[in-house]
């Protein structure tokens, strides 16, 4: 029964894709929507809505990476179960195109597993990678690889990562969920015996098919304590994945923007934003040179209810103020660069992002 539902939802997507593609084929006005990218890079700033983006601009000496994007839109973030999403439902919406209940990873609100963009593009022959500065098993990266009814089942999620034949490169933290497990299984040893290359630091990486780098037992340290881990991991991943014949899909998360905002810590927040901004610049440098890479930067939700208040009543000084230690329901920005980027404008659902990616990848096949 469950399988039947899964299959019918996939074929529905396929039907919708072919309808929209044949429509755009018939209309010359819509031909722009058929610019097909070879590579897709999806970047998620966890907890990063427009107040956070503007906080990065206000505290940056140079123009930020965000200002390099030719197209921008806004995405609604509410989940199936709540007005305010968590990172599990938010990540799942972005990764799979399905709104689901808060707490759920890679499944729809009926607990039926749904394929992620990473999995679908892997099946098309593209190489895939996931980078985070949190546990790699944390909600956002997990949404692209794992299926679980509860985001806190970290050891089950680690097992999903170990068993996935769809992901080629993993870089992040959360080593303890792989090798200090309640079931006593050492997933790292198991993965290595099955052909994975494993490293506990960013250096020493060699050319190979499947590579996992777990650089920390738990989350990575905050920026700047972790150094340039995120931009360096990104450059390394781009070098590794860009050799792929059929293109690649890479998800990069600025995981700790959310952590900083939960802590109502504006110094931590600004540091994390600058680290993510620096990473986006590396990605855009690659995409500019490559010419066939679509880059999307968005967020799963806003964290902190961040606002900038007038501190002296004369509009001359601003102060970052958190109105909550929780998430808020704000829309989040969608920044797009590269072939097909003109499709990511206006107000959309968070589930539309991946649907637009599928449309772009299907069009030229007709």
Positions in the binding site for Mg ion (CB under 5 A):
46, 87, 140, 255
- Return phi, psi of residue 161, to 5°: -60, -45
CB of 76 to Zn ion, least distance (A): 18
Question: In the complex with Zn ion, which residue's Cβ is closer, 139 or 158?
Answer: 139
State the DSSP code for 247: -
Residue numbers 11-40 binding Zn ion by CB under 5 A: none
| Minimum distance, C-beta of residue 171 to Mg ion, in the bound complex (Å) | 14
Nearest-approach distance from CB 194 to Zn ion, in angstroms: 33
Binding pattern to Zn ion, positions 294-333, x when CB under 5 A?
A: ---------x------------------------------
Q: Which does 168 bind (CB under 5 to 8 A by kind): Mg ion, Zn ion, none?
A: none
Structure tokens of 70? 């030719």
To the nearest whole angstrom, how small is the minimum distance from the Cβ of residue 147 to Mg ion?
17
Which span (182-190, 216-224, 238-246, 250-258) binds Zn ion, by CB under 5 A? Answer: 250-258
**In whole angstroms, what is the distance from residue 22 CA to residue 26 CA?**
6
**CA 359, chain centre distance (Å):** 19
272 binds Zn ion (CB under 5 A): no
Q: Which two tokens stand for residue 99?
A: 């709104």
CA angle in degrees (0–180, nearest 5) for 213-218-220:
65
- Report the 3 state secondary structure along 72-90: EEEEECCCCCCCCCCHHHH
Say how far apart CA 23 and CA 19 lie, in whole Å: 6
The yes or no reply on residue 258 touching Zn ion (CB under 5 A) is yes
Q: What is the DSSP letter of 189?
A: H
CB atoms near residue 356 (< 10 Å): 22
Which of 329, 362 has the CB closer to Mg ion? 329
Closer of 126 and 269 to Mg ion (Cβ): 269
Which lies closer to Zn ion via its Cβ, residue 37 or residue 304?
Answer: 304
Q: Which residues bind Zn ion (CB under 5 A)?
A: 258, 303
């Amino acid at each position: 029964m469950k399988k039947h539902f899964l299959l019918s939802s996939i074929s529905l997507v396929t039907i919708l894709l072919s309808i929209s593609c044949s429509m755009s084929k018939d209309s010359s006005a819509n031909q722009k929507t058929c610019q097909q990218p070879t590579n897709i890079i999806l970047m998620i700033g966890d907890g990063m809505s427009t107040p956070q983006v503007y906080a990065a601009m206000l505290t940056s000496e140079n123009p930020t990476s965000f200002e390099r994007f030719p197209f921008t839109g806004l995405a609604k973030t509410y989940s199936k179960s709540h007005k305010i999403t968590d990172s599990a439902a938010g990540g799942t919406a972005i990764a799979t195109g399905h709104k689901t209940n808060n707490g759920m990873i890679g499944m729809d609100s009926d607990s039926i597993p749904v394929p992620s963009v990473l999995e679908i593009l892997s099946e098309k022959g593209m190489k895939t990678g996931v980078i985070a500065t949190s546990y790699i098993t944390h909600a956002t990266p997990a949404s692209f690889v794992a299926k679980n009814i509860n985001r806190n089942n970290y050891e089950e999620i680690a097992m999903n990562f170990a068993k996935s034949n769809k992901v080629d490169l993993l870089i992040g933290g959360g080593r303890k969920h792989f090798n200090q497990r309640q079931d006593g299984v050492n997933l790292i040893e198991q993965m290595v015996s099955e052909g994975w290359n494993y490293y506990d630091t960013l250096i020493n990486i060699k050319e190979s098919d499947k590579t996992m780098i777990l650089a920390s037992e738990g989350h990575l340290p905050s920026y700047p304590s972790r150094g340039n881990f995120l931009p360096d991991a990104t450059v390394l991943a781009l070098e590794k994945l860009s050799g792929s014949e059929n293109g690649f899909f890479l998800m990069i998360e600025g995981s700790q923007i959310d952590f900083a905002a939960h802590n109502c810590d504006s110094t931590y927040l600004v540091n994390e934003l600058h680290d993510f901004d620096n990473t986006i610049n590396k990605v855009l440098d690659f995409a500019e040179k490559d010419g066939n890479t679509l880059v999307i930067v968005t967020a799963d939700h806003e964290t902190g209810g961040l606002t900038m208040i007038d501190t002296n009543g004369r509009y001359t000084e601003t102060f970052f103020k958190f109105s909550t230690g929780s998430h808020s329901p704000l829309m989040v920005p969608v920044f797009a660069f590269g072939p097909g980027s003109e499709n990511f404008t206006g107000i959309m659902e968070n589930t539309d992002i991946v649907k637009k990616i599928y449309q772009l990848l299907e069009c030229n096949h007709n």
